[in-house]
């Protein structure tokens, strides 16, 4: 007879605990995970797994490879908890590890982007991209695939993941002006790729 009230109390406890975790910053959660709180890491996964996968599938041009690299990246995040000093934000720290995992994955192999893969790339949940026609989306993806890797990466971090130039610079291990330049030339190339699409785009 006491089982149901006990389970109810546990449910309330875990619900309150989860809300408390949700209110914490990324850095606080990661430090808590470093001290053994697995629930804190699950909150971080909920916050960033979609963003990481969306970034990787566009950067690598291959959803299966992106899934594998995403898993590898989060394993590195798990293993690196003790080394996090908080000199940078958790998001920057995370994407440095994601970038290294991606670069390691493509070493010694050439990653190409097939047309059918381009049509099935995961699109981040952004209303402006949702409004694009399928044809324009495809043209954009093909334009992205033609960019030099460092420009494509900088563009995705800036325009898709909303990172600042200092964050991009830290992730790519370059100065801020180089990061800004890479985004600028990526935008310039993409505009050229889309020139004349569906009419005049001056």
CA distance 160 to 148: 17
In this prediction, residue 135 carries a pLDDT of 53
**Are 141 and 57 in contact, with CB atoms under 8 Å apart?**
no
CATH class as words, domain 12-117: mainly alpha
Say whether pLDDT at 103 is over 70. yes
Numbered ranges of CATH 1.10.1740.10 in the chain: 12-117
> At the topology level of CATH, where does 123-202 sit?
Arc Repressor Mutant, subunit A (1.10.10)
Numbered ranges of CATH 1.10.10.10 in the chain: 123-202
Q: Maximum Cα–Cα distance for the chain, whole Å?
A: 74
Characterize 25-49 residue by residue with b for buried, 16 or more Cβ atoms within 10 angstroms of its Cβ, and e for exposed: ebeebbbbbbeebeebbebbeeebe
Lowest mean per-residue pLDDT among 74-83, 93-102, 141-150: 141-150
Distance set, CA 152 to CA 4, 55, 59, 188 (Å) = 55, 10, 7, 12
Which string of DSSP letters, residue by residue, matches 77-98?
HHHTGGG--SSS-HHHHHHHHH
Confidence of residue 35 (pLDDT cuts 50, 70, 90): confident
Say whether pLDDT at 112 is over 50. no
Q: How far apart are the first and last CA of the chain?
A: 74
Please, what is the angle between helix 90-106 and helix 165-172, to 10°?
A: 40
CA distance 176 to 178: 5
CA 159, chain centre distance (Å): 11
In this prediction, residue 116 carries a pLDDT of 41
Mean pLDDT (the chain) is: 75
Say whether pLDDT at 94 is over 90. yes
């Amino acid at each position: 007879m006491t089982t149901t009230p006990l389970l109810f109390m546990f449910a309330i406890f875990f619900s309150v605990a989860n809300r408390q975790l949700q209110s914490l910053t990324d850095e606080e959660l990661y430090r808590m995970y470093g001290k053994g709180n697995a629930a804190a890491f699950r909150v971080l996964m909920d916050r960033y797994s979609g963003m990481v996968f969306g970034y990787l599938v566009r950067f690598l041009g291959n959803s299966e490879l992106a899934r594998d690299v995403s898993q590898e990246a989060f394993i590195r995040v798990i293993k690196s908890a003790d080394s996090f000093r908080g000199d940078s934000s958790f998001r920057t720290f995370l994407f440095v590890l994601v970038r290294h995992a991606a670069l390691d994955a493509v070493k010694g192999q050439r990653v190409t982007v097939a047309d059918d893969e381009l049509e099935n790339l995961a699109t981040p949940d952004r209303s402006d991209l949702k409004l694009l026609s399928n044809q324009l989306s495809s043209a954009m993806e093909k334009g992205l695939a033609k960019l030099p890797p460092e420009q494509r990466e900088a563009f995705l971090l800036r325009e898709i993941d909303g990172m600042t130039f200092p964050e991009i610079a830290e992730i790519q291990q370059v100065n801020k002006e180089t990061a800004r330049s890479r985004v600028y030339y990526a935008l310039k190339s993409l505009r050229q790729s889309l020139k004349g699409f569906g009419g005049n785009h001056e």
